[in-house]
Structure 1
Amino acid sequence: MKWNTSSRLLMAAIVLLLLTGLAAAVQAQMTFTVTNTNNSGTGSLKKAIDDSNANPPPANTQNKIVFNISGTGPFTIKPLLTLPTIKVPTDIDATTQPGFQPNTLDYADNEVPMIILTPGSLGALVGFTISASNCSIEGFVINKFPLAISLTGPGGGNVIKANFIGTDNTGKTAAGNLQGILINKSANNIIGGDDVDDRNIISANTASNIAITDVTSTRNGIYNNFIGPNATGTKTLGATVTDIFISAPDNYVGMSGLEPGEQFHPGNVIAGAITVGINLNGSNAYGNEIEGNKIGTDPTGTQPLPNTVGVLVDAGAHDNEIGELNVIAFNLTIGVVINGANTVRNTITENSIFGNLLEGIQLLNGANDDIKIPLLISAAHTCSGCGTEICGTYIDPDRKKSDITVELFMNDVVGPPNILTLGLGQGKVFITSYKVKTDFLGVASLKITLPIKLPVGKYITATVTDDDGNTSAFSNDVVVLPAADLSIVKTVNPCKITAGTNGTFIFKVTNNGPEPVTGATIVDILPLGTTYLSAYSNSPYCTLALGNFVCITFTTPLDVGETRTAAILFKTCPDLDDGATICDTALVISSILGDIGDIISGITGSNSGSGVASADIGSISLDKINIFGDCNICNNFSKVCFRISNPCKDAPLMTISTDLLQGNPIPLPGCTDTWYYRVIVRACTTTIYGVTVTGNAPGLMGKPISSSPCTVSTSGSNVTWQITSIKPCEPAVLIVCVKRTVPANTPCDSLYTLTGQWTAKAYAVGTQTSAYSNPITITATCQ
């Protein structure tokens, strides 16, 4: 076929027409410019949205709506009716208005927005409604609507950034919407962004600042926003019931980036809510992750901007994770509350939870499968000084032979008031985690030695998490103690005290090393029959006295080898019985008590010592078995038992004197009186007691308890024994056996029988004397 000139021209025209049509079919996204604040018409925001909806952009692109309003801003657009729903991918960018300045600050927001969107006189209901995908709203002030922004299905993947939602154009004054942002039946949206100039301020919106509802609203991310604070980051704007409400699955509030394959996204500042900072609510709230946020604090995480409750997981929400790297602090009641028997498998891990008024974590109504709280017993430097040993126990009969993850935390101060929280602590600094396994009873030891020396005086707490992801509340606090061996010696003055008068318990505390001790504390519970009056020391000190529970704390370090003295003045009750004994025991620990864990560590650890003193030399009673058949004690001898109770530590020498009241124990010519003795004590003590003899029986020598009891004495009617080293508060018994031997071929009749009625008394130092014992008749048949 031959082409002539006319044919060639016709073909060229056809090709040109085809190429022009194809170009129109694949045109790039369109840009629409807002040039005025009118409600409608050319250059209005409404017209721009209508034009964008009428001209869908190619796949994977956006139309753009930009601003270029003449004059000096900021400019306020007041739609009379709700703006058209955005139905095609569109970027509505108010940062393009001349005069806009982006935020450049980390801990505050200095953005200068130029476009304010607020309802007109007919009361528009919604600021922006987006049903499309791949849209963005940025750089606006949106205030005073019933709903500021609605993200609804079927679209998703939209971005809301660099807006002030619920404030004026300074970000410092409340101008709230009823609801800030609502995500319903929409997925993969992002509120905020990774950079400081992406930050939204979403505050002062009455119902909630952000709400995510419906089971289809998944994989939405909330990053790097101020939710509750104003632009300064130092104040909240108030009036919001809940900062973030989520009743949908698999959403993200901040993202730590610590998990494999997880991208880092900065967390949010969530503060100032009337009720709850974050509420995960209902059975559709599962798989949500809350990471890296400041909840109840300013942007630095160090100053309070409290919610009433930091995080509430409620109404059957399950399998959520709170952590890592959240700071949940200063909230007016509790940091994290998990509530309800069906609210289970919610993990709280590796956060900083502190300064909440009542408690760090609280489980209510069987939440988290009613997992039990661990008990810590002690935390102390090892004697080698190169680590810290933490001891505790976990008991949960519902978790027999189960793997348990223990997380340890360190705190600057002891937990909240014990009356309100049963002594449960919080966890400011995450230290480490480790696994243990419970036995067939559901019991596990939590002992671990860390390779670092934790600071002395800090407080340690723990949580446990089972293999299903249920996390407990915090344990009790235990204070970190130095590797120090403390000892205490206690005396009383006077040793013999009259009922109704005053006495003094005196303590000498010594640090035997190897480390100095800050806050060494004497703990004493004064005995019944006494009343605490005062305490004092020769070193700087402070006193805690609750009734007869007394703590004396040395307020300056107790150096290695140093000894200090303190005293407690007490008064005895005037109605004490004659001969009654007042016995007191005290201990010294390395720090003032935080709770029961410290008490246990103070008693059982090497960081403590104890001393005992008695305020009375006791009393004596006598009893007798005439013929006692035990060869180890008295074989065919008359036995007298001198029972001595609670002798005085101040008078370790105790003298017992026997006195003849009546009878005939006087030796006859040729007769010999033989005395045997032995000291026995209660079976629970291992103390060895000794006896020496003075007075008219000089030949009777003392024997310890384990020795043979038999010793021959000269005859005599009155015999005195002196007992040494009797342990205070332990009754001792001196057994004395006597028989009379007559010359050979002498009739053994009543003339030669040793008979008589005896009594005894005890003497201590000086004139301190017990009353006479009961009288007893002793008879030794002659042999």
Structure 2
Amino acid sequence: ASITGGAYLSLDSGHSFFEIGLAGLSVSSIALNASNTQIYAVAYNSGIWKGHIPAGLGSGILTVTNTNDSGANTLREAITSANRNPGPDSIRFAIPKSDPGFEPATGAWRIRVLNALPDITDAGLTIDGSSQNEFTGEDSNPAGPEIIIDGSAAGDFTIAFNILTSDVEIKQLCINGFGDCGISMFGENTRGNTVTGCYIGTDAAGKTAKPNDRGIFIQETAANTISGNLISGNDKFGIYIMGAASQNNVISGNLIGTDITGNNDLGNGWTGISINSDKNTIGGSSENKHNIISGNGQDGISIRGNMNVIQGNLVGTDVTGSSIVANDKNGIMVWAGQENIIGGQEPGESNIIAGNHKSGILVGDASETKIIGNAIGTDSSGTQNMGNDGLGIGLFYGASNGIIGPGNIVAFNTIGIQVYGDSSIQNTITQNSITANDGYGIANESGGNANLAPPVIFEIKNGTVTGAAPPGSVVEIFSDDDDEGKIYEGMTTADAGGNFEWNGAPAGPFVTATATDSAGNTSQFSQPKNVTSVAETAELIIPMEFSLSQNYPNPFNPVTKIQFALPLRSKVTLKVYNFLGEALSTLIDGNMPAGTHTLLFDGEQLSSGIYFYRLQATDARNARTFTQTLKLTLLK
């Protein structure tokens, strides 16, 4: 009897069959050779036909024995056979050094792909580049993988491995030169795949860029793991994840944007990791899960999604976390998402985000972002100057209900934390170390955090800090070398009249404070008070009359001292106005004790010109109200 439509082979007594050739032929008889490597057929009108049976077919192990693009025992044939063979398969490499694709200089074998390899549809397939070592009995390329999949001759828009199924593992291959992705995973039925130990976008030594257009692209597929790879030198993204179904993917232990040493820039042209989906994890608490994401042409990490977690990574530094390998834009950008987490309080969850050419972390149009326990602009000790060129943390254009802290170290940036715009509100900044930034430690601008007024520290005496703050607000006390908050000392609460008292022993030399209202808005730092200076807090002699003294120096640039006297405890408002009578800054708005008080006004944000400061004081008995306005001149 003739067979029409092809030849099929069963190795399980006919329970399952897979096609091995002869498609479209009408065959009268078939036979196998003794080693089961050739099939012979007599076909009507076609004479005698001979076909190759792939090595290992039916055993679950398919062996690649040469570097040819196509033909017997090639990678292309192995993928085709695996797709046809039911059940999980393993593609292994056993290529001799006599093969023309062997490169003695690198110790690697180059498979030059001439057109797209077959899509991978065999669930459970493993393509194992490490098997080449087992075949040769030596590590011929100690610097990296022994097998190079080279797409430089495959044409534009070509993907090296296009995975359309689940539980596939790609391990220890060098994948470069492809006009599209090194590896792509697509579809909701595609999940649970693993890429490990690969070099994607570099040479086999991990030192030179050999770009793919993109490194790894994951779309509408969940629970994949990208671990222990070098993903650098690609023209666009290192890793790009998108789609509503792309959840619970894990990116850990990779070098993304550096060379294999983790010390030198070999950046991807665009962002290192870009995620446009929910519930994915970048990094982890254990050391082997920390990613190095540095040297990339745009952001280190970009997030547009909800409930993603970024922990334990080095972003903008080398593998030690102590030298800069900058990303060209932000270290981490979170835009238009909710409940994303950067860092954590447990050991190993902190990120180091330093040296980037824009901000360390930029959050925009995103709510409930948590930024906890990170080193931003410095190393893990908080002592090394590795500042981001822009902000340490920026909260912009609708960034709301965020929690910044506890435990962040924000240092050596242009501004520590900036909250910008009247829709960027209810962001709580708590229990951090913010110090040695070029400008403000915390800057609320254009309505950011509702422009909540900072506290005013009246007095530091015998370890007790007293002052005024918005009524009912939580007041945090800090020590600093200047006017920020290097050491978190503790907290207290302002009473209904706006008065607060904190008892402790601040380290100094200066003490500052922040206020956080019931909505979660946190103020800028207060003006600093010197722990040891009695003269700067209140004179021992109670003045007889209200008075406001001329500021000194005047003219000034940019800081000047303003002094006033209160004969009784009073409700005090002290504001600075421009020439048009518009209020620019509220220096004091609260109750103050009797005495002579001095504070500093910083005009750093103002341009040169004539300004006015106005004191209004009403004594506690409401018997007298004193008002006086004086002129001050800023010359820059």
TM-score for both structures, normalised by structure 2? 0.58
Cα deviations by residue, 1:328-375 (Å, 9 ceiling, x for unpaired): 2222121222223xx323222232222222212222222226x7999x
The one-letter code sitting in structure 2 at the alignment partner of 1:309 is N
SS at match of 2:80: helix
Structure 1 residues 255 and 69: CA distance shift in structure 2, 3 A: same
Contact 2:397 2:423 in 1 (8 A): no
Q: In the alignment, which residue of structure 1 is the partner of 2:474? A: 445
Structure 1 residues 319 and 487: CA distance shift in structure 2, 3 A: closer
- Measure how far apart 1:293 and its partner are: 1.4
The reply on whether 1:218 has 2:247 as its aligned counterpart is yes
Structure 1 residues 110 and 39: CA distance shift in structure 2, 3 A: closer
Q: In the alignment, which residue of structure 2 is the partner of 1:276? A: 299
- Measure how far apart 1:116 and its partner are: 1.2
The reply on whether 1:68 has 2:79 as its aligned counterpart is no
Structure 1 residues 132 and 241: CA distance shift in structure 2, 3 A: same
Structure 1 residues 480 and 270: CA distance shift in structure 2, 3 A: farther
Contact 1:411 1:458 in 2 (8 A): no
Structure 1 residues 114 and 546: CA distance shift in structure 2, 3 A: same
Map 1:730-769 → 2, pairs under 5 A? none
Match of 2:172 among 123, 136, 139: 139
Match of 1:231 among 257, 260, 284: 260
Q: In the alignment, which residue of structure 2 is the partner of 1:557? A: none
The one-letter code sitting in structure 2 at the alignment partner of 1:546 is N
Q: Tell me the distance in 2 between the aligned counterparts of 1:475 and 1:102.
A: 59
Note the residue ranges of structure 2 that are not aligned, 5 or more in a row: 1-10, 18-56, 98-103, 345-349, 378-386, 406-418, 449-469, 478-488, 492-503, 538-549, 566-583, 600-616, 620-636
Structure 1 residues 20 and 210: CA distance shift in structure 2, 3 A: closer
Q: Tell me the distance in 2 between the aligned counterparts of 1:119 and 1:249.
A: 32
Note the residue ranges of structure 1 that are not aligned, 5 or more in a row: 1-18, 104-108, 193-198, 258-263, 375-393, 425-440, 490-523, 532-544, 552-582, 587-595, 612-682, 686-783
- Measure how far apart 1:465 and its partner are: 11
Determine what percentage of the aligned residue pairs are the same residue: 29
Cα deviations by residue, 1:7-36 (Å, 9 ceiling, x for unpaired): xxxxxxxxxxxx9739989x9961111111
Match of 1:166 among 201, 209, 214: 201
- Measure how far apart 1:297 and its partner are: 1.7
- Measure how far apart 1:460 and its partner are: 8.1
Q: Tell me the distance in 1 between the aligned counterparts of 2:155 and 2:557.
A: 64
Q: Tell me the distance in 1 between the aligned counterparts of 2:518 and 2:536.
A: 43
- Measure how far apart 1:486 and its partner are: 4.6
Structure 1 residues 357 and 118: CA distance shift in structure 2, 3 A: same
The one-letter code sitting in structure 2 at the alignment partner of 1:172 is K
SS at match of 1:51: helix
Q: Tell me the distance in 2 between the aligned counterparts of 1:178 and 1:203.
A: 11
The reply on whether 1:337 has 2:362 as its aligned counterpart is yes
The one-letter code sitting in structure 2 at the alignment partner of 1:237 is L
Structure 1 residues 416 and 87: CA distance shift in structure 2, 3 A: farther
Contact 2:354 2:388 in 1 (8 A): yes
Q: In the alignment, which residue of structure 2 is the partner of 1:692? A: none
Structure 1 residues 162 and 466: CA distance shift in structure 2, 3 A: farther
- Measure how far apart 1:206 and its partner are: 2.1
Contact 2:511 2:529 in 1 (8 A): no
Structure 1 residues 447 and 317: CA distance shift in structure 2, 3 A: closer
Match of 2:289 among 255, 260, 266: 266
Q: In the alignment, which residue of structure 1 is the partner of 2:69? A: 39
- Measure how far apart 1:275 and its partner are: 2.4
Q: In the alignment, which residue of structure 1 is the partner of 2:338? A: 318
Match of 2:308 among 271, 275, 288: 288
Q: In the alignment, which residue of structure 2 is the partner of 1:94? A: 129
Q: Tell me the distance in 1 between the aligned counterparts of 2:208 and 2:236.
A: 18
- Measure how far apart 1:204 and its partner are: 2.0
Q: Tell me the distance in 2 between the aligned counterparts of 1:237 and 1:83.
A: 27
Structure 1 residues 459 and 176: CA distance shift in structure 2, 3 A: farther
The one-letter code sitting in structure 2 at the alignment partner of 1:328 is I
Contact 1:410 1:461 in 2 (8 A): no
Contact 1:414 1:477 in 2 (8 A): no
- Measure how far apart 1:202 and its partner are: 0.7
- Measure how far apart 1:479 and its partner are: 9.8
Which structure has more relative contact order (CA 8 Å, sep 6+)? It is 1
TM-score for both structures, normalised by structure 1? 0.48
The one-letter code sitting in structure 1 at the alignment partner of 2:129 is A
- Measure how far apart 1:110 and its partner are: 7.1
Contact 2:214 2:238 in 1 (8 A): yes
Q: Tell me the distance in 2 between the aligned counterparts of 1:188 and 1:202.
A: 19
Contact 1:408 1:463 in 2 (8 A): no
Map 1:211-610 → 2, pairs under 5 A? 211-256=240-285, 266-281=289-304, 285-307=305-327, 308-314=329-335, 316-324=336-344, 325-340=350-365, 343-354=366-377, 355-368=387-400, 407-411=430-434, 413-416=436-439, 444-447=473-476, 449-450=489-490, 456=508, 476=524, 484-487=532-535, 525-526=551-552, 546=557, 549=559
Map 1:643-722 → 2, pairs under 5 A? none
